[in-house]
Amino acid sequence: MHIGATAALVSPPQSLSPATFPAIFTSRLNPLQSRFSAAAARAATGSPDTQTHLANLEHILRRQSPLPPQPAPTASPFVGLLLPALRLPPLFQRRDAEEASPRSLAHLNHLLSDSAVPSPRRSISGRWREFHGFCDWSGLLDPLDPDLRREVLHYGDFIHSAYHAFFNSPSFSVDSPRPVAFPDRSYRLTRHLFATSSIDPPSWLPSWTSHRTSWIGFVAVCDSDREIRRMGRRNIVVALRGTSTCLEWAENLRANLVPLDEDDGNGDKSPKVECGFRNLYKTAGDRHQSLSSAVVEEVRRLVELYKGEELSITVTGHSLGAALAVLTADELASSSPEMPPVAVFSFGGPRVGNRAFAQRVERRKGVKVLRVVNAHDLVTRVPGLVKFPAEIAGRLRDGYEHVGRELRVDSRVSPFLKPDADLACCHDLEAYLHLVDGLGGGGGFRPNAKRSLVRLLSQQRGNVKKLYVRKARALGLDQDEDARRAGSGCVANI
């Protein structure tokens, strides 16, 4: 694909009105939920007071009778169809029946460890191509290879960094660069990325809804010799957050299929993608390049800068970011014959294009896609969940198909989440990472999962079983929302 040929394909700005997008005018920006409890770090030190708390709690809780299991209510399909691909606030969380007490009290240490402290990662220098999808992750997914699990979780934490940077930078405009806290110090931020909507909002909308261009992620490169030796190559990461502004919501609803580039043609068997995704990917802003142009330009620069080294490119995203990650990988692979291998690790991603587009991505040399999918996440079933009359199905959702290999998780097998966890929890990024960490052979939940529950509790408290909420509150880990802070990571800025 050629960047210069895409300008004519981007739809001209369209007027936004209540009649066109009624759901958008009743929505608010999704506030950041991914904050850590400062008390968790103090508890993790294992002080005498903490140990006393643990001993007393275990003694008391062992005497409690478990609640009898109750059937989980069934979510209304109608309500599910109205939810766009977003990390929704606790407004939609239910606080009704839950199952009996989860597993052993030995898992209480999950609530006391800060997820910002990663578990040791072994050298993968001899197997990195396997983990990058050279063989379509054959033999690595069931049971999930422990080294691949760590790599997937690491890329998920990069997306957390993007969400945190966007929502926790109040002194920065939404279309401005901002500090980014990385999961570790091995990576260096090289470029900020922006996405622009093709919709022209009317002047009477509130100012917080009128920004067509928003910061959406970053490009980073591994800059640690030790980490490069561990991974067996220098890795370039592109991380993209999910839907977070009203105009991004509006673009998500534009589900008609359109060609991604003019070279793709417009026939029934031509590669096509969702109109809203294409617009956010290809539209340039007043002060920023399009996401498409910026990513390709920066990756090419880094590939030239580190020419002669073993390189790889990893594109990771959640929700809307997962869809944009597929478009990014498709274009990167076609932008240069010397492009390093590209792998996509996506979480909770919707369908992106039609069957012809999916086949094109899967047949491209050097592109592999691994989709992490929660069995109860409705976002992963759209577009295409609703069936339309035959006369309009061809140009709307009919023909949408997923790309790549699927890694399926199930929120109902987690011993820490309620069995009737709501739709917001089923799509939440931290819930996804919690389930990947716990994924055992045959789809069960492994007893030796290591990821902290602190962030999950802060984001999905209403969906965590009450026993764990009570224990966290008793230990001072369940603080008010204003008290939660993400005090971890290495701050990077350019």
pLDDT in tens, 68-102: 444 444 444 434 444 444 444 433 334 343 443 44
pLDDT band at 39 (very low <50, low <70, confident <90, very high): very low
Q: What is the DSSP string of 79-101?
A: HHHH--SB---GGG---S---S-
Closest by Cα among 22, 85, 137, 81 to 352: 85
Distances (CA, A) of 388 to 4, 198, 351, 397: 36, 26, 17, 8
Give residue 127's pLDDT: 97
Q: What integer pLDDT is reported at residue 23 of this predicted model?
A: 46
Which tokens sit at 455? 């962030």
pTM for the model:
0.77
Give 396 or 308, the one with higher predicted confidence. Answer: 308
What is the distance of C-alpha 177 from the center of its chain? Answer: 20
Q: Over range 31-57, report the average pLDDT.
A: 45
pLDDT digits (tens, 9 = 90+) for 465-488: 998 888 888 777 665 443 344 434
Q: Is 107 a catalytic residue?
A: no
Number of domains in the chain: 1
Question: For the segment 285-307, what is each residue's pLDDT rounded down to a tens digit?
Answer: 999 999 999 999 999 999 999 99
CA separation for the pair 327, 383 (Å, rounded):
16
Write out the residue range of the structural domain in which residue 125 sits. Answer: 3-492
Catalytic residue at 346? no
What CATH number is given to the structural domain containing 261?
A: 3.40.50.1820
* C-beta of residue 161 within 8 angstroms of C-beta of residue 115: no
Q: Specify the higher pLDDT residue, 422 or 441.
A: 422
**319 catalytically annotated:** yes
Q: Which of 377, 420, 437, 478 is catalytic?
A: 377
In angstroms, the CA 210 to CA 246 distance is: 8
What's the rounded Cα separation, in Å, for the pair 474 and 64? 16
pLDDT tens per residue across span 226-235: 999 999 999 9
| Catalytic-role residue among 427, 437, 452, 458 | 427
Quickly state the pLDDT bin for 104 (edges 50, 70, 90).
Answer: low
Q: At what angle do helices 320-335 and 355-363 cross, to 10 degrees?
A: 50
257-259/272-274 β-pairing: antiparallel
Nearest to 325, CA basis, from 193, 228, 161, 430:
193
CA dihedral 253, 256, 261, 265 (to 10 degrees): 180
What pLDDT, on a 0 to 100 scale, did the predictor assign at position 49?
Answer: 55
Average pLDDT taken over every residue of the chain: 79
Q: Judge contact between 107 and 415, C-beta under 8 A.
A: yes
Whole-number pLDDT of residue 487: 37
Of the candidates 115, 290, 292, 319, the residue annotated as catalytic is 319
Higher pLDDT among residues 192 and 66, named by residue: 192
For residue 55, name the pLDDT band (cuts at 50, 70, 90): low
